[in-house]
Every structure is written in C-alpha cells, then in structure tokens.
Amino acid sequence: MRVEEIEGLYPPALARSYLQGEPGVIRLFQYDPRRQEAFRDHLEYLLTQRQEPLDLPAECLKEYNLSLGCGSQTTANIELIEKNRAVAVVTGQQPGFLTGPLYTIYKAMGTIVLARKLTRELGHPVVPVFWIGADDHDFAEVNHIYLPTSQGPQRVGLEEKPGVRFSLGHLPVPEEAGRLLDQIKELTPPMGWQQEGIELLRKTARNSLNVADWFGRLMTFLFKDYGLVMVNPLLKPLRQRSAGLFYQAVMSAPRADQLLDSACREIRSLGFSPQVQSEGNKAHLFLYIQGQRQTLFADKQTFYNREKRTTWEREQLAEQALTQPDSFSPDVVLRPVLQNKLFPVLAYVAGPGEMGYFAQFKRIFELFNERMPVIYPRPNVTLVEPLIHKLMQKYHVPLEQIPRGLEDFIAVYLEQSDEVGIAALFNEFNEMLKKHHKGLVKKVAIINPVIQGLGQDCLRRMTGNLRAFEAKVNQHHRRNHEAALRQLAKINHMLHPLGQWQERVYNVFPYLMKYGPDCIGEMISLMDVENWQQKILFFD
C-alpha cells in the first residue's frame, strides 16, 4: 500500500474557512489548530488550571473494553487517565451497522495517529478515545451500508423499524442481521479474508447485547493493537458521573439555548449557515419516557416535552438529575461538554459537520465551566484498488478529479473522441435553418399574416426533430465508446459513489474481506495528520 496526496479541503464552507485560518471563523473556537502552541496551551490548562477534578470510573471502562476484546495497551491507557498521568484525544460516531461509512474508521485512525504525535511532541502521554454515540436514536441513519459492486453502490439495510426515539444503545441486534450477512457474502468476492470476515461479523453479532455493543466489538477488533479506548456513555457508572452536568443543565436552562442563538446570529453575520438551530427555550437534554428520548424545553420554572403533554417543575427535574441520571441524555450541544467532564480532552478529531457544531459551542463550554479543546480535522481518504488504478492510468484520469467525480471528465472524453464534431455540426445547421426559415416566412407572409404563426409552429417542429436526430447521433457515438464509458463509470462508482466522497458511502468490510485486516495497520502507518491534504491510498 502506498499514499499520494492532493490539495483540497472539505466542501462545507465554514469547515474550509476554519482550516484555512480565516480570523472571523477562528474567533469562534478556543484554539487555532494550525498552531502547535494550541496543544501546549490546552495541556497546561488541563494540568494546572482545570477547576473540576476528574472522577473516571476506570474499572468500569476496563471491564467494558475487555468485554469487547481489547488489548493490553487499551487497559494501560485507561489506567494512565485514571492516575491523571495522561490526557486524551477524543473522537466519536453513532454506532453504525458494521461500523458505518469509511469515515468512521478514518476518525479512529486520525485519533490514534494524532495521540501518538502529541505524545512525542509534548512529552506527555496522550491516549486515543472513541466515544460511541449510543445515546443517539436516529436508527434510519445507521441501519444500512453501501457495498462497492461491479454495478455500482449496492445498499444493504435492516428493514426492522424499532420505536421512533429509542437510543441505539438500548436496541438489541436485529434478528434479520443474519440475513443481511448472507446478502453481504453474496455481494463480495469469495477470496482473501471473506470467509473469516463473514464469520467475525456473525460471531460478534451473536455475542452483542445491543447495536452499540456490536459496533464496539467490531471497532475493537480493528484497532485492538493501538490502545483505542471505547466509551459507551450509557454505562451506569458513566451516567452516574454525568449527574452533575445534567443538574447544571436543568438549573441553567434555557441559558445554553440563548447562547446557541447568539452563536447562530454571529455565524450568519459571517455568511455561513448554522449547523444547529436554536429553538429559544430548549434545555438540550432528553428525558427517557417509556424508553424513548423526549426533548425537554424550559419556560421559567416549568419544563415540558415537545408535545407539551407533560410538564415538570425545575426543582423536580434537578433532583431527578442527581438521583436518576440514567433517565437523562444529552443532545448534540451538551455531548462535547459531557466528554470534557468525564475525560481530560486535549483535542477532538472532527468531521466537517462537527466543526460546524463546535463553531457554535464556545460560550456553552464556558457556561458549564469548561474550555473547548483543540478541534482537529479527521483525515480525508480515498481508497484506490489496483484495477481502478490501471483504468485511471489508461484514461489519464488525474487524482485531482477524484473529489469532484468524473461526470465532467466523461463529458470531455466524449467530446474529444468525437471525430466529426457532432455538437458544432448541429449548432451550425440549426443556425442556418433558423436563418433560411426566417427569410422564407418573411416572403410568404405577405399572402396572409396568419402564415407568420404557422411558420413558427413549423420551425418548432423542425428544430425538435433536429434535436431528436442529434440525440440519436450522440447515442450511436456513445455506443461506439461503450466499453470506455463503462470503465470510466466504474472508476466513478468506486471513487465518487452516488455523487459523494467515497468515505461517506462505502463500508470498510468489503475492502477488509479482499485485502485482509492487516491493511488497517498499513493505513495507519501512512496516515499523516500533520497536513490536511486529501490522502489517496493505493492497494498493492
């Protein structure tokens, strides 16, 4: 495996401006990620100025990670944090089916590599932590994957529909998972590590209590040798240590939403669209009611759910936050604050959407007596298999084309392979037709003015027939180059599927089944996080 890099940043405008260091955007964050001093400054803050002591339930985390099958480096890292001898680089993601899109894997890799880099440069232990978004309830977002096939992206998804707002960490692995694994087996070539990979997926599904647990087992298998600490925030000891934040959130509501609204206005003034919208009186907490997450809103001393069917007094909820913290759940606004409360977070490895979130959270961190960590971009990677690379060389497809897709490249290819100049011929003929038709109508219209309208109808029919004829000619031209177009389409399906970056569509396991799980280590060894160029990884 080898790597090449190309220029290019994430499409979202705010994330791009942040990484380019635009002052107005940098001001929204605590630190500028381009400055090495940012990490030293935040490390000093964590070690000397942080006012709230950490109370990490280390034994619980060890037991959990061991139950997932972790290696000794992971338990050693947990002990380092427990003894206040290490800080953390954190990332996280919803527990997607079979780990979800590739970018989840790249987040973990970026976190591991950045933690190693900072350990060397700061002379202080930094450990990688992965926060499983087990609280989240958007099952439709995580219940499917896409596989690369010869026919293009193939969706494989769960059809079962659990209750609308049940947390993913409370949902058992669906019984139909076995059927989906059979489907994946049929869609992947019987070579390499395929048989072992399918068996791993079956075994981990059988041994998992819920969707988040299955996700954690698979991630642990992939990163067992790299000390990655998996965190499920629904674990009871972690929920108990979340009680203080939940209490603060109840007592201060809706102050966090007011700060969010202020951040929304500031972001709009810079010409961007906020990622998270304020609703004016949101508490940014969910309350579990009959197992489902219900959004809480605050109005003076009273709280209510979205339907306003149930109300609670502030003191009542505050008491419940302290005595029954597992009945609460943070939303996307409070989740990073909770991570800060539980871990000494030096940096967070974020995707482009998350950068947009964090741009709104600086004052919210301060509201809860916390400081936003360094927000660092996850790696952006495209995987290129040998056959695809050969086809790219055959048609001289530049690497810089990958982030844009090949649609315009294919159009140019067709145009350049057009020996007769179809478009020019038809344009010329069309102009000539209009000119002669105009002269003809002008001469005959003296017979009767109504002929003017008849002439226009005639021209529309003729130009319509001409366009249809041109389409047929182009169709035959495409047929003459059918093999080439099919191969160019294959490149596009593999590298820019569904009009999106590959990392947002395909899942990692089809690649692992073909090239083996050792390629994870090779990818990590090639993952340079010091520059933010797009990485193109070529399989040998």
Task: Give mean pLDDT, residues 333-338.
Answer: 98
Number of residues in the chain = 540
pLDDT at position 450 over 80 = yes
Task: Tell me the per-residue pLDDT of 467-488, one tens digit each, with 9 for 90 and over.
Answer: 898 788 778 777 777 888 899 9
The pTM score is 0.91
Position 232 scores a pLDDT of 98
Q: Which residues of 110-123 are buried (b: 16+ CB within 10 A; e: fewer)?
A: bbbbbbbbbbeebe
Contact 267, 359 (CB under 8 A): yes
Percentage of residues in the chain having pLDDT higher than 70:
99
Mean pLDDT of the chain: 93
* Rounded (to 5) percent helix, strand, coil in the chain: 55, 15, 30
pLDDT for res 51: 65
pLDDT digits (tens, 9 = 90+) for 242-275: 999 999 999 999 999 999 999 999 999 999 999 9
Q: What distances in angstroms separate CA 422 from CA 416, 460, 483, one per listed residue?
A: 11, 21, 20
17 or 426, which is more confident: 17
More confident call, 314 vs 428 = 314
237 contacts: CB under 8 Å, gap ≥ 6: 57, 60
Of the listed ranges 180-194, 354-368, 441-455, the one predicted with least confidence: 441-455
Question: CB atoms < 10 A from the CB of 459, how many?
Answer: 16
Residue 62 has pLDDT above 90, yes or no: yes
Q: Between vectors from CA 256 to CA 254 and to CA 257, what angle results, nearest 5°?
A: 65
What would the two tokens of residue 498 be? 């569904």
Give which of 391, 394, 352 is closest to 494, Cα–Cα.
391
> What is the spatial distance between Cα 430 and Cα 462, in angstroms, rounded to a whole number?
9
* Sign of the torsion angle spanned by Cα atoms 469, 475, 479, 485: positive
32-41, 266-275, 457-466: least confident range: 457-466
Contact 497, 506 (CB under 8 A): yes
Render 514-540 in DSSP notation, one character per residue: HH-TTHHHHHHHH---SS-PEEEEEP-
pLDDT tens track for 101-118: 999 999 999 999 999 999
